Structure 1
Amino acid sequence: MKNGTIVSVAGPLVVASGMEDAAVRDICRVGDLGLIGEIIQIRGDRASLQVYEETSMVGPGEPVVITGEPLSVELGPGMVSNMFDGIQRPLEAFRLKTGNDYLDRGVAIDPLDRDKKWTFTAQVNIGDSVVGGDIVGVVQETPVIEHRVMVPPGVEGVVTNIASGVFTVKDVVYSLETKGSGKRDFTMIQRWPVRKGRPFKRKLSTEEVLLTGQRVIDTMFPVAKGGTAAVPGPFGAGKTVVQHQIAKWSNVDLVVYVGCGERGNEMTEVIDEFPQLIDPNTGNSLMDRTILIANTSNMPVAAREASIYTGITIAEYFRDMGYSVAIMADSTSRWAEALREISGRLEEMPGDEGYPAYLGSRLADYYERAGRVVTLGGADGEDREGSVTAIGAVSPPGGDTSEPVTQNTLSVVKVFWGLDSSLSQRRHFPAINWLSSYSLDSKTMNKFVGKVLNVDWDEMVNHTRNLLQKEAELQEIVRLVGVESLPEMDRLTLLVSSMIRESYLQQNAYDDVDTYTSLQKQYAMLNIILTFEAKAIEALNLGAYFDDIAKGTTALRERIGRMKYISEDNHEEFEEILSDIESQIKYVIGKEVYK
């Protein structure tokens, strides 16, 4: 294949001539340093490449070597607990090889460790027929993740050689007699182009809730396993903490965390904290089920654009093993800015605020790769299910959610957790605005939770939402005429709504007890607040006065406010609060009212 020559360099964009043999999306080695670049446009014999490394001191006349392969990732044992950059270079191995903490240019390094030995346990026998997606062996990659070695998609044949043993990822672990290609040897490594979604048998409807332990999310705005969610919010509103909490507490098997263009100190916080966090389900380090991809704001812009695709491809690979995976992207705004920079240098017609006109379709392509699916395989007659849940943070300038990235994201995701700077300024966290946020999965997920708890959860949640909406309407009147002018029932609505906001929706991520709330505890807490409201309404209807109820239940409401700090297994205290509600309200207003 004929190679080209650099004509011009403008930041991450390189133009090369003599590229008539190349194709769009081919990976090339650019310049004397051999920088990694991807062809994104071809006109005649000239190709425009986005280079994933710093291009300073690279100039015209230097060679461009065409590899003929698309940007791909290596998939195999050794990814979990590791940290990669946007194009899957392992950063720790990179540092050890170069001897410094910066990304030296042109350094070639394998994504997966070629020397580390893994214990491979065969799951099929010689003579078995297998198809793409079938599991031929397993490797215990971490104490909690079993890496399932699969036949690559599109391959079908009969096993002619396989044996359990200790191997490196580059060793042949099984052989197949394939149809049309004869005998083929396979290692534990698969390669897959990042911009192409991995295939599956069929997509399924989302039925199971992704439990996060965050009450405002699980109760008010739940997301399904295999669903999509966006977390827009201004700087300091708590996007990163929300994603950290979901990564730690969600009921998924694996987390892929993509630090896409955020500040280096935020990614440093992830790197420092995650190894120290204990997975509540296993008791091991959270890193045993986490893969980190870091491409911060001081790293190459073009690689930032690729990091999202690298992350979702890795997530799909573990989905194909039958795992439920959550991918966190922080943030898609920085990814979109990388698109805008490359598009501007290509002199493409801009869309809103200078973003490329295809911004919406690129976002849709990404989120479309989430979902709950029946995976490939099944030569044994059994279907295997897996899911990818995509949660993307959005960082709109000044918190303005009318900007293009947020609006295009909201057009494709089903759950919107809108962070509010006014809530964060009042130290109300998570600062998810209960009036502007929504979940299109809510009704289905409430039915799922209702079956788990054996209660009418949907009715409880809807009643809670109505109370908060009513409170917002009443606050407008209060600002005009004062709270004393409201009817007794409306004053009770304000009181109960404040209990919901402060005692239920507000949650402390740094408190050992309050950081996570199970479904059972969420029901117990919400049921206590709604029972208080029901008994107070009953008292009002029997002739009691609101002021008597409010003053007489001060101590009770303080206990309700502290119930978030009651441990999960202390059921007796929840029952005691519940039983005290009716007796205390009766005592306050006088038993004769009930006669």
Structure 2
Amino acid sequence: MSKGTIKKVAGPLVVAEGMRDANMFDVVRVSEQRLIGEIIEIHGDQASIQVYEETSGLGPGEPVESTGAPLSVELGPGLIGGIFDGIARPLVEIMEATGTNLKRGIEIPSLNREKKWHFVPTVEAGTMVEAGDIIGTVLETEIVTQKIMIPYGIQGKIVSINEGDYTVTDTVAVLEKADGSTENLTLMQKWPVRIGRPYKQKLSPDKPLVTGQRVIDTLFPIAKGGVAAVPGPFGSGKTVVQHQLAKWAEADIVVYIGCGERGNEMTDVLNEFPELKDPKTGKSLMERTVLIANTSDMPVAAREASIYVGITIAEYFRDMGYSVALMADSTSRWAEALREMSGRLEEMPGEEGYPAYLASRLAQFYERAGRVISLGKDGREGALSAIGAVSPPGGDISEPVSQATLRIVKVFWSLDANLAYRRHFPAINWLTSYSLYNLGKWFNTNVDEKWMDLRARIMKMLNDEAELDEIVKLVGMDALSAPDRLKLEAARSIREDFLHQDAFHEVDTYTDLSKQLLMMELVLHYYDISLEALGKGASIEDLVKLEVRESIGRFKYVALDKIKAEYDNILMRLQKEVDNLLQKEEA
């Protein structure tokens, strides 16, 4: 254990001397107050330490002690439903111990040492096991069963294992290694946050993460184990999109990282999530959620730690075979923290003052997502999907964080302030967003063979509308031909009836894939039948004012058990109204 003294203090950066025996990324305790920090640079016997707590009042000569271990997170029963700060300290327990204000230097373990959990073995004494094998289960909440796995790097024979109630530090099983030594296994294991947890095999991202949000699932889907970026200016709905994904995405576990967000936004999350009902089980959403609250007024250095802590917890549940959705809100705040620390270390700045290694740090984070075969003999499949919000100043995505993120992620949901001001939510711009995941085969096989053709027609119509809008602005609507005016009307129907989705409506908040297919078909049927009627002499004014159009618009509010009957009814009325129009024209 290396000991030294403070040489100088510069904000969250402390330079200590006498630290020759310390290693990079060792966790250190600074001063008599035992503030927690991490070594980020070593020159000779001088170590630069980023301190994860307020450093005011520290001065030269105060002691610094290295723990000899990297920043690690405790993984075990007690994580689900927990609210942690950026370095995985439990905020509720801290409040109970010290009151509403965080006290510097407080040491409270992430997992409760007193609480007992009922452990049920799934193997017997004498079983040969290896890293990743499941030896038992603990029912953590009514929704989540935590699987107790053999830690990485350990294999051998189970000598004893017993069912019962244990704390996270009690021995639940004893394992004998090949060399004859024994290892006591507990419900808890530790993992260094900067190192990705190992797996057997990474699988190709060919299954979608179904979210129930039409603009995402139909136009810009994300794969299970995929990565997506949600950039947008203030007020464009980044947090609402992430809340919707947390609630409705096809994920068993949600890890939500509030990385440098404003305190009031994080308070909203902390207040709302326990009240939100999990649609699959009817229980509180918190019963399958881990929250990491690391707000703007907390020390900037802890923002980087919060990102790594969150993804390590997500990987742990992925290794159990769960599908995990990770929300990072927002990576821009983390990048700003990197910029500040880089400036204090006097490193050569890159673009706009960000460090030159910004892109590689972002890539290291996002590459830990994926759909994998976990370690262990049973070949469990788990998925970790990462969705990172980006907050570019003024919504300008040409800035370095947005550009570095775009080079890494495969899905780009571009939030548009103009759409948000027009009350169009989700405010994802269909002209500038994209998804590079090739999921067409899955949709055509599992939903309907027409899916990709319908999607392609809808995208073309939206692109044509943008071009026609330019003409209308220059020379007016009267300059357009009747077919073009009809195309504009159909595109408006796509925008207002299909892409616009009410997050607060009990039916419209989530749309099943089968219903999304029918909604696409309805709008395109209206266009096709009307286009045919135009050729037969019907007037564009009459086709625009068809009564059935209101029913097409309200179809998104129809409950799932009634959609097929309503769909058939609308199609019949549409054909009938158009036929009546044509008869009038002939008369």
Question: TM-score, normalising length from structure 1?
Answer: 0.97
Residues 57-114 of structure 1 deviation map (CA, whole Å, 9 limit, x = unaligned):
111111001110000000000000111001000000010011x212110111010001
Partner of 1:114: 113
Q: Provide the secondary structure at the position in 1 that maps to 2:112.
A: coil
Give the one of 424, 435, 441 matched to 1:439: 435
Structure 2 residue 571 is matched with structure 1 residue 586 = no
Residues 305-361 of structure 1 deviation map (CA, whole Å, 9 limit, x = unaligned):
110000000000000000000000000000100100100000000001110000000
Partner of 1:263: 262
TM alignment of 1:324-339, pairs within 5 A: 324-339=323-338
Residues 390-446 of structure 1 deviation map (CA, whole Å, 9 limit, x = unaligned):
0000000000000000000000000000000011111111110000000001xx323
The 1:238–1:2 alpha-carbon spacing in structure 2 relative to 1, beyond 3 Å, is closer
Checking the alignment, whether the CA contact within 8 Å between 1:231 and 1:394 is kept in structure 2 is yes
> Which whole-Å CA distance do the structure 2 matches of 1:492 and 1:40 have between them?
62
> Which whole-Å CA distance do the structure 2 matches of 1:578 and 1:309 have between them?
52
TM alignment of 1:227-238, pairs within 5 A: 227-238=226-237
> Which whole-Å CA distance do the structure 2 matches of 1:63 and 1:475 have between them?
68
> Which whole-Å CA distance do the structure 2 matches of 1:541 and 1:196 have between them?
65
Q: CA RMSD in A?
A: 1.2
Once the 2 structures are TM-superposed, how far is the Cα of residue 548 of structure 1 from its aligned partner?
A: 2.6
Code of the residue aligned with 1:95 in structure 2: it is: M
Checking the alignment, whether the CA contact within 8 Å between 1:31 and 1:63 is kept in structure 2 is yes
> Which whole-Å CA distance do the structure 2 matches of 1:370 and 1:3 have between them?
37
Partner of 1:360: 359
Give the one of 532, 553, 558 matched to 1:561: 553
Partner of 1:59: 59
Partner of 1:104: 103
Code of the residue aligned with 2:472 in structure 1: it is: V
> Which whole-Å CA distance do the structure 2 matches of 1:221 and 1:563 have between them?
22
> Which whole-Å CA distance do the structure 2 matches of 1:359 and 1:336 have between them?
7
Residues 438-459 of structure 1 deviation map (CA, whole Å, 9 limit, x = unaligned):
0001xx3232122222331011
Q: Provide the secondary structure at the position in 2 that maps to 1:590.
A: helix
Code of the residue aligned with 1:489 in structure 2: it is: P
Give the one of 481, 485, 489 matched to 1:491: 485
Once the 2 structures are TM-superposed, how far is the Cα of residue 218 of structure 1 from its aligned partner?
A: 0.7
Structure 2 residue 370 is matched with structure 1 residue 371 = yes
Partner of 1:517: 511
Checking the alignment, whether the CA contact within 8 Å between 2:537 and 2:585 is kept in structure 1 is no
Residues 253-300 of structure 1 deviation map (CA, whole Å, 9 limit, x = unaligned):
000000000101111111111111111111111011100001000111
Once the 2 structures are TM-superposed, how far is the Cα of residue 592 of structure 1 from its aligned partner?
A: 8.0
Checking the alignment, whether the CA contact within 8 Å between 1:542 and 1:593 is kept in structure 2 is no
> Which whole-Å CA distance do the structure 2 matches of 1:512 and 1:448 have between them?
28
> Which whole-Å CA distance do the structure 2 matches of 1:486 and 1:586 have between them?
25
Checking the alignment, whether the CA contact within 8 Å between 1:549 and 1:589 is kept in structure 2 is no
Once the 2 structures are TM-superposed, how far is the Cα of residue 483 of structure 1 from its aligned partner?
A: 1.1
Once the 2 structures are TM-superposed, how far is the Cα of residue 508 of structure 1 from its aligned partner?
A: 1.1
Partner of 1:189: 188
Q: Provide the secondary structure at the position in 2 that maps to 1:391.
A: strand
Partner of 2:447: 453
Once the 2 structures are TM-superposed, how far is the Cα of residue 235 of structure 1 from its aligned partner?
A: 0.2
Give the one of 523, 527, 533 matched to 1:533: 527
Once the 2 structures are TM-superposed, how far is the Cα of residue 591 of structure 1 from its aligned partner?
A: 7.5
Checking the alignment, whether the CA contact within 8 Å between 1:324 and 1:387 is kept in structure 2 is yes
Partner of 1:426: 422
Partner of 2:399: 403
Partner of 2:457: 463
Partner of 1:342: 341
Partner of 2:281: 282
Once the 2 structures are TM-superposed, how far is the Cα of residue 2 of structure 1 from its aligned partner?
A: 3.7
> Which whole-Å CA distance do the structure 1 matches of 2:390 and 2:267 have between them?
19
> Which whole-Å CA distance do the structure 2 matches of 1:361 and 1:253 have between them?
29
Give the one of 462, 468, 472 matched to 2:466: 472
Residues 515-540 of structure 1 deviation map (CA, whole Å, 9 limit, x = unaligned):
11111111111111111111111112
Checking the alignment, whether the CA contact within 8 Å between 2:8 and 2:14 is kept in structure 1 is yes
Give the one of 368, 379, 386 matched to 1:390: 386
TM alignment of 1:33-44, pairs within 5 A: 33-44=33-44
Structure 2 residue 68 is matched with structure 1 residue 80 = no
Code of the residue aligned with 1:582 in structure 2: it is: Q
Q: Provide the secondary structure at the position in 2 that maps to 1:562.
A: helix
Partner of 1:573: 566
> Which whole-Å CA distance do the structure 2 matches of 1:387 and 1:2 have between them?
39
The 1:385–1:92 alpha-carbon spacing in structure 2 relative to 1, beyond 3 Å, is same
Q: Provide the secondary structure at the position in 2 that maps to 1:112.
A: coil
The 1:478–1:85 alpha-carbon spacing in structure 2 relative to 1, beyond 3 Å, is same
Partner of 2:68: 68
Code of the residue aligned with 1:559 in structure 2: it is: S
Code of the residue aligned with 1:206 in structure 2: it is: P
> Which whole-Å CA distance do the structure 2 matches of 1:211 and 1:588 have between them?
41
Code of the residue aligned with 1:74 in structure 2: it is: E
Structure 2 residue 220 is matched with structure 1 residue 209 = no
> Which whole-Å CA distance do the structure 2 matches of 1:274 and 1:584 have between them?
47
Once the 2 structures are TM-superposed, how far is the Cα of residue 589 of structure 1 from its aligned partner?
A: 2.3
The 1:455–1:94 alpha-carbon spacing in structure 2 relative to 1, beyond 3 Å, is same
> Which whole-Å CA distance do the structure 1 matches of 2:306 and 2:101 have between them?
18
Checking the alignment, whether the CA contact within 8 Å between 2:13 and 2:341 is kept in structure 1 is yes
Once the 2 structures are TM-superposed, how far is the Cα of residue 547 of structure 1 from its aligned partner?
A: 2.1
Checking the alignment, whether the CA contact within 8 Å between 2:538 and 2:585 is kept in structure 1 is no
Once the 2 structures are TM-superposed, how far is the Cα of residue 251 of structure 1 from its aligned partner?
A: 0.7
The 1:67–1:455 alpha-carbon spacing in structure 2 relative to 1, beyond 3 Å, is same
Partner of 1:151: 150
Aligned residues: 586
Code of the residue aligned with 1:227 in structure 2: it is: G
> Which whole-Å CA distance do the structure 2 matches of 1:181 and 1:563 have between them?
68
Question: TM-score, normalising length from structure 2?
Answer: 0.98
> Which whole-Å CA distance do the structure 1 matches of 2:6 and 2:322 have between them?
45
Once the 2 structures are TM-superposed, how far is the Cα of residue 182 of structure 1 from its aligned partner?
A: 1.1
Q: Provide the secondary structure at the position in 1 that maps to 2:126.
A: coil
The 1:181–1:474 alpha-carbon spacing in structure 2 relative to 1, beyond 3 Å, is farther
Code of the residue aligned with 2:326 in structure 1: it is: I
Checking the alignment, whether the CA contact within 8 Å between 2:536 and 2:582 is kept in structure 1 is no
> Which whole-Å CA distance do the structure 2 matches of 1:312 and 1:65 have between them?
28
Q: Provide the secondary structure at the position in 2 that maps to 1:386.
A: strand
Q: Any unmatched runs of 5+ in structure 1? A: none
Checking the alignment, whether the CA contact within 8 Å between 1:213 and 1:518 is kept in structure 2 is yes
The 1:489–1:181 alpha-carbon spacing in structure 2 relative to 1, beyond 3 Å, is farther
Checking the alignment, whether the CA contact within 8 Å between 1:28 and 1:39 is kept in structure 2 is yes
Partner of 2:537: 543
Partner of 2:271: 272
Once the 2 structures are TM-superposed, how far is the Cα of residue 593 of structure 1 from its aligned partner?
A: 6.5
Code of the residue aligned with 1:85 in structure 2: it is: D
TM alignment of 1:503-514, pairs within 5 A: 503-514=497-508
> Which whole-Å CA distance do the structure 2 matches of 1:412 and 1:525 have between them?
33
> Which whole-Å CA distance do the structure 1 matches of 2:179 and 2:313 have between them?
29
Code of the residue aligned with 1:395 in structure 2: it is: S
Greater displacement, 565-574 / 206-215: 565-574
